Structure 1
Amino acid sequence: MSCRRRNMPRRKRGQDSMDNLDQPGTSKTVSGTKRAKTLTTEPIDYARLAQEIVKIQQSTNSEVSSPSLAGENEPAKTLSKSMVQSNTQPKGSGLPETQSQLPEQSSSSQQGNESPSTIETVVSQLLSSSAGSLPVHASVKSTANTHSTGLFENLNPQACQLLAAALSNSTKASYKRTWDMFFLEYPTINSLPITATVLSNFIAQLFSKGYSPSSISSHVSAISYVHKILSVPDPAEAFLVRKILQGCYHSAPNKDSRLPITAPILLKLVKGLSSSVQNLYTRILLKSVFLLAFNAFLRLGEIVIKSKNEQSKVIQRDDVTFQFQHKTPCAVTIVLKNFKTNKTNDLFQINLEASGNEDMCPVQSLWLYLKTFSHESGPLFQFVGGEPVTYAFVTKNLQNTIRFIGLNPALYKGHSFRIGAATHAAHLGYSENCIQKMGRWKSDAVRRYIRLQSFTV
């Protein structure tokens, strides 16, 4: 008697788990039909089955859902992905291109948890004066790689402290004020990067409120810093933003309050050094700086350094050559290699002749200075110990001497020598074109330096 095996259908993957889901009975399917025929003696609890299906769907959706949905079920410990999104908008979205689409976030979660962290919170942490407030565990994910690790979560405490110390407390406070102004203007923006259009509009608003171009540039730096530190595209690098900034400088009204140091004022300064400066060597040095800056139409930064890395950019000792007559210097030639408008690395030669007035002669004053300090290399103006003379040192003594001779030090700066030179040349009858060449101006900006109204006719 032969036994015939009944062919049973191959069970689909996961069928057992669905058939036996919290049921005491079992179910079987019969092949050969498109519909499965259930063979069971107990009814299925469809309500319970529906609940389990909803749970599975919710679990699946939470992995691919928007950040606003994910943040409703758990406390906000990371910077959500919605804070870093692309600037492009899907076609037909109905949103303006100047603002990224923002997911709505509930003020509180269904389970009483805190709302997700906002970009304002992150900015506050980054620009806090306390090193411990850095968002070390904040996760910043780019749109290109949504599975990248957090930007700060792998930094050790020492690295966090160094990052916090990168900016001074005053700079952090200044940057924080900028972001507070930005959030006040754009309260709905809660993502990075902000678009170049939004930043351009913010610049325009600052300009319309009377902010100077330099102040606006500082505010843009604050916006740029946060983007760079979070490794997201910086809108300040956009060509549009750079041109908007350039337009601020071109459109700003001229509010130059600096007055020219004219020849009569220069004479008072030179004579006032004997009373305002006690050290003889310092008096010799400052007198030479003052007279040379005035007579050679020099920017003060072309002869004294503003920082240590500028020692090679100022006039060097080797760039100065004297001509003598009966062993007395009668003229000096200065080769100027580095100056503001020199875009082609050309050399500019300055020739100064000695005058009969010993108090006002730049040639004799410079010769006395070099004989006294006797250095043969390096920057032209050095202290006795060989250190280059700094811009801050000269301007500080200039302010003290200006105050001593009875003038307002707030109105006379280091650039006042150059303004005074142009004004003095115009008073002597030199043409505007000639003054432009002597002062190395490449545009009609020289007109702003000629202040003939400073003279009493």
Structure 2
Amino acid sequence: MADRPRRDVHGLNYKSLSEYGIPDAGETKEEKKLEDPSSVKRKLDVRDEKKSLSSAKKKLAAALSLDKSCNEDDVEDEELRCLRAELKSTEDDLKSQRLQNEKLKLKEELKRKQQELEKEKDLELLQLKEDVKVSTRAAYALGSKKNLLVQWRAFLLFCTYFNMSFIPANLDTICCYAQFLSRSFKSVESIKNYINGVKVMHLMLDCSFPHLDSFVYKLLLKGLSRIKSHMPRRALPISPDILLEMVEHFDLENGSDCVYWCLFLFAFFLMSRKSNLVPDSCSQFDKNKQLTRGKVFVVNDIAIVVFEWTKTIQHGERRLKIPLVKIPGSVLCPVSAYNHMCSKVPASHDSPAFVISKNSKLTPVTYGQFQRKLKSVILKTGRDPNLYSSHSFRRGGATFAFSSHVPSDLIQLHGDWASDAYKIYLEFSMKDKISVVRNMAKFV
């Protein structure tokens, strides 16, 4: 340690070092002990003041730091509020968009439903229009439709040939057409029917047709009636005496003959129209119009014949029930003839009442067959077949009922006449006419 170099401390100013805050620098132990207590206190106060300043600085720094931290929290809270506000706004927008989409979907669905409804309405309207056409066509019976078509065709051909306007037709055209028809028809009534067909055509096309009430047209028909005086030819009536002559030419043990004989007797005693007994053809048989086996009810000595459709019963508004009674011991008995026919030619409930076997198959008797059989049998009795037709049975039945003193009202009801037109079918015998004169002579 003796060799350690001595520290050169000469020239150092310790007092000045103490002034720089180095404690006890430049003071000796003796000076330290002799220091004044007041100065010591002062030094302590200064030291405490420095300490308090330092503590205040620290507190200020801490306060600033805390304030900064609070400000940073406030900034963070503001951002959070902004984010929340944006989120809420976005949710509101999404909700609004969702509602808008739902509204659009509902509008589209409503529009589609409306279109479907309109389409369905259009289809229903088309169907209604088709139904109107069907119902309109059903206004006329099949025979009336055929007559109208013939009348329309004749009028159109006439107008085309003479280059005349047919829709609407003027009065001059109608008068010329009536005069043209008079060349072919003997009866003015036939001319009226054809002109009425022209009227129906105009009305169906929604055109007026006032010509029938015209004085010129009425004057023309009156003149044609005078020029073309005509007595219509009616089929002669068939009487019970003629029936007795006819039956001699039938083999009632033959299935076909017994069917025709029953048909003849039904036509006579029922005074029926041919359309209620037989169809025009096999394919045109209608069980609602022509008589069937199931509509003839036999109870003991009485048979009830039911017609659901006739010329006067077009819409099924009523049923015509006509009785037939048994005539014991007579070949003219309609009930016995029906029972015999059913035993010889059995048929089902819905089968036509009058059927014949053809190629091992039952077929209905048609109007043409009815007419041919009648004329062939009439010819065999020595009479002119051109003077008789199926209508002869209806006229003969009414005439026989009248000569049997059946009241006129009952004859009209039995024969299903809607008016007194049946009286023109009655054929008065000379005996009846003589009885009228004799009754008058009694009071002279």
Relative to the length of structure 1, the TM-score reads 0.50
CA-to-aligned-CA distance 1:308-359 (integer Å, 9 cap, x gap): 33422101211111113xxxxx221111111111255211111111102331
Deviation (angstroms), 1:372: 1.3
Counterpart Cα distance in 2 of 1:237 and 1:354: 56
Which amino acid in the other structure matches residue 286 of structure 2?
Q
User: Which residue of 2 is the match for residue 351 of structure 1?
Assistant: 323
Match of 1:334 among 298, 305, 311: 305
Letter matched to residue 334 of structure 1: V
Measured after TM superposition, the shift of residue 200 of structure 1 is: 2.6
Identity, in percent, stands at: 23
> 1:443: which partner in 2?
419
Cα distance in 2 between the residues matched to 1:176 and 1:437: 38
Specify the alignment match of 1:149 in structure 2.
none
Residue in 1 that maps onto 2:146: none
Aligned with residue 261 of structure 1, among 238, 246, 262: 238
* Deviation per residue, 1:265-298 (Å, 9 max, x gap): 1111122234xx9x92211111000011101111
What secondary structure does 2:355 align onto?
Answer: coil
Q: Distance in 1 between matches of 2:353 and 2:292?
A: 5
Query: For 2:355, which of 356, 375, 382 is the aligned residue?
Result: 382
Kept in 1: contact 2:203–2:209 (CA 8 A)? no
| 2:269 is aligned with 1:292 | no
Q: 2:333 aligns with which of 327, 351, 361?
A: 361
Q: After alignment, is 351-360 or 336-345 more displaced?
A: 336-345
C-alpha separation in 1, matches of 2:362 and 2:373: 19
Q: Contact 2:237/2:388 (CA < 8 Å) preserved in 1?
A: yes
In structure 1, C-alpha distance between the alignment counterparts of 2:417 and 2:203, rounded to whole Å: 38
Q: Which amino acid is the alignment partner of residue 383 of structure 1?
A: I
Task: Give the match's secondary structure for 2:297.
Answer: strand
Greater helix share, structure number: 2
When residues 240 and 410 of structure 1 are mapped into structure 2, their CA distance, relative to the original with a 3 A threshold, is: farther
| Distance in 2 between residues matched to 1:178 and 1:195, nearest whole Å | 11
Change beyond 3 A, Cα 1:237–1:451: farther
In the alignment, is the contact (CA less than 8 A) between 2:258 and 2:337 conserved in 1? yes
Contact 1:399–1:409 (Cα < 8 Å) also in 2: yes
Partner of 2:335, secondary structure, is helix
Equivalent residue of 2:399, what SS? helix
Residue from 303, 315, 323 that aligns with 2:299: 323
Amino acid at match of 2:293: R
Structure 1 spans left out of the alignment, 5+ residues = 1-170, 325-329
**Contact in 2 for aligned 1:436/1:446 (Cα 8 Å):** yes
Do the aligned residues in 2 keep the contact of 1:304 with 1:391 (CA within 8 Å)? yes
TM-fit CA distance, 1:260: 0.2
Match of 1:311 in 2: 286
Distance 1:303 1:363, change over 3 A: same
Distance in 2 between the 1:352 and 1:243 partners? 47
Q: Which residue is 2:369 aligned to?
A: 393
RMSD of aligned residue pairs (Cα, Å): 4.1
3-state SS, counterpart of residue 290 of structure 1: helix
- Tell me how far 1:386 sits from its aligned partner: 2.5
Quickly say closer, same or farther: Cα 1:429–1:351, change in 2 above 3 A: same
Structure 1 residue 306 displacement after superposition: 1.2
- 1:280 and 2:251 are equivalent in the alignment: no
Please give the alpha-carbon distance, in whole angstroms, between the structure 2 residues aligned to 1:263 and 1:179. Answer: 47
Deviations 1:360-395 (A, max 9, x none): 110000111111111122221122222221010011
Q: Does structure 2 retain, via aligned residues, the 8 Å contact 1:200–1:240?
A: no
8 Å contact kept, 2:296–2:303: yes
CA–CA distance in 2 between the matches of 1:222 and 1:422? 31
Residue 138 of structure 2 corresponds to none
Query: 2:246, 2:381 within 8 Å by CA — same for their partners in 1?
Result: yes
Q: 1:304 to 1:241 in 2, by over 3 A?
A: farther
| 8 Å CA contact 1:315, 1:379 repeated in 2 | yes
Q: Compare CA radii of gyration and give the structure with the larger one.
A: 2
1:301 aligns with 2:275: yes
8 A contact 2:296–2:304 mirrored in 1: yes
Alignment of 1:207-286 (within 5 A): 211-212=186-187, 216=191, 239-240=209-210, 255-274=232-251, 280-286=254-260
The one of 387, 397, 411 aligned to 1:411: 387
Distance 1:435 1:218 in 2: 28
Mark the CA change 1:287 to 1:215 in structure 2 (over 3 Å): closer, same or farther: same
1:281 maps to amino acid: G
Q: Counterpart of 1:428?
A: 404
Q: Which residue of 1 aligns with 2:343?
A: 371
Letter of the structure 1 residue corresponding to residue 368 of structure 2: A
Following superposition, the deviation at residue 299 of structure 1 comes to 1.2
Q: 1:190 to 1:177 in 2, by over 3 A?
A: closer
Q: Could you say what secondary structure the match of 1:447 adopts?
A: helix
Matching residue's letter, 2:422: V
Amino acid at match of 1:382: V
Q: Is the 8 A contact 2:182 2:191 kept in 1?
A: no
